[in-house]
Amino acid sequence: MDFKILDVPTTSISEVKKSPTIVFKKAKEENTPVYVFNRGDVAGVMLTQEQYESLTNEIEALHERVLDLEVEKRLAIKDLKLYSDEEVRGANADQFLTIDENDGWE
């Protein structure tokens, strides 16, 4: 599969081997990823830590938005069948739930 190469800085594997720090510096200075080529083919892309974390946070936010939209779509169904807590959890519905503050949910 051929990908369109963006108009971003590039370097070679040889240059990365010599000094990866210079490549990270270039990515930071130009505030963009740096494509790394090996014999004319893209071998990878180098990002600063800040760039990587920013992309990761953006992806996470987009996933959350998709989930929100899916919930909105399901709740918009007119003849939606709803179930009570007792119908879902049965006898456990009367038991007190322990909330784990460190379970990853907000």
Mean pLDDT of 31-43: 92
pLDDT in tens, 7-35: 789 999 999 999 999 999 999 999 999 99
Which residues, in sequence order, are CB contacts of 34 under 8 Å at separation 6+?
A: 8, 9, 10, 11, 23, 26, 27, 45, 46, 47
Residue spans of the domains in the chain: they are 10-48, 51-84
Per-residue confidence (pLDDT) for residue 53, from 0 to 100:
96
pLDDT band at 74 (very low <50, low <70, confident <90, very high): confident
At 65 the pLDDT is 97
For 30, other C-beta atoms within 10 Å of its C-beta total 11
pLDDT over 90 (residue 62): yes
The pTM for the full model equals 0.63
Q: Whose CA is closest to 6, among 39, 31, 28, 35?
A: 35
Question: Among residues of the chain, what percentage have pLDDT more than 90?
Answer: 59
What mean pLDDT do residues 30-46 have?
93
Helix then strand then coil, % of the chain, to nearest 5: 50, 15, 35
CA–CA distance, 40 with 17 (Å, rounded to integer): 16
